[in-house]
Structure 1
Amino acid sequence: MSPRIPKRMAGCPVHGGLALPQVAARHTNDRRPPLFGINHPGRVNNLLAGRGCGGCGQPLSRRAGGKYTLLLRPADFTRGYSAEPALHPSDCARYAIEACPLLNGRMTSYRSTRRDLEAERCGQPDCDCRLWANSDDHEARAGASASPVYAAVFRQEDYRLRWGDVREHRDVLLGVALSGIEPLSIRLVTKGDPSVLDFTRALLMNLPLT
């Protein structure tokens, strides 16, 4: 049975009983299936810069005492930022953990065949899928064991962006900064099937593995 969709995500498209997060790639034509697990770069950047939730797309809390959640792999901690937008802790983050098979433990590895994003293009002139391109990250994850994932909760006052250089591009928006920020809490969401590298990263960052 699919988990209950939170009220905050009531406006999200639903496919196969699951609400599609705002970051997910999708076609303009709703009859074509969305790409769960594949993020839309434009939506990601807009949500990061606008302090929007990656689940529902609504603004994150800015009130005193407000919080946000990041779902993080060991590699995110060591590089010092999350490339994915933050989530509302009480509902959107909880729903993501319950709905995603890599987060709820139903899958311990990524799909064995790489998803060919260029082959997913629908050819409609008003659909930005014409810009979808395969990445080294997608290639590397195909068939790989799933990393441990942590839910880290932060104060809204600590939200800041991380910028950096990517190949020949300068001052690229990389994600939500982690370096130098103390989380309120860190919880292991799923153990995954950690590689030696992930295990080492977790040890270096003093992350729980159970």
Structure 2
Amino acid sequence: MAEKVGEEYIDSSGVLWVMVEGRLFSKQVSLKECLKIRVPRLLQTSCISFGLIIVDSIAGVFRGTAEYDESKDEEKCKGIHYGILSRAKDLKEIGGDLHNLASIHGLCVICVNQVSDAMDNIQGFGFEKKIPALGLSWANMVTTRLMASRTKSFVNLEKNSGECSKGNERTLIRELEVIFSPELPPSKCQFAILQSGVEGIS
């Protein structure tokens, strides 16, 4: 259960959340605390071997609060300009913490980001020209960028997966594309999300 403090909530473990349009988002302060204190402590003391950290989504932490859009103390923070600088600083700090965790403990780190429509044909990637959220501050922290998207094609479940389908039931084909990587060439593959899990489509 979470205790309400204005429009913010504190759960039983002390994590701070903010309510936006009926949904709870963890605040960036809690994410930094998690990466600096809780995750390292867990990795050092747990008898379980961890190989993967997933942050879903990194953009949701910063888009889910108005703290970076406009400061309440304009004389001290100079309004929106302070918000931009503050966000860039926190993004760099969070990215650095994730890199350190990956290096020290031999982990793979996946950060789910959001995308926006590109305003021209020069920027962006993918068929519909999308650009990632959070700008250059976060882009400079990324070593490999993968883009998951929906196509306009469908696949018949019964024919491709062996599962029982109801009549002509079909599922949407999705695509995973390597945008850039120091170890992988630009490439893409197609897959479908089924009740049994994720299945590749050749």
Query: Is this a same-fold pair by TM over 0.5?
Result: no
Structure possessing the higher relative contact order (Cα contacts under 8 Å, 6 or more residues apart): 1
TM-score between the two structures when normalised by the length of structure 1: 0.30
TM-score between the two structures when normalised by the length of structure 2: 0.31
Higher strand share: 2
Higher helix share: 2
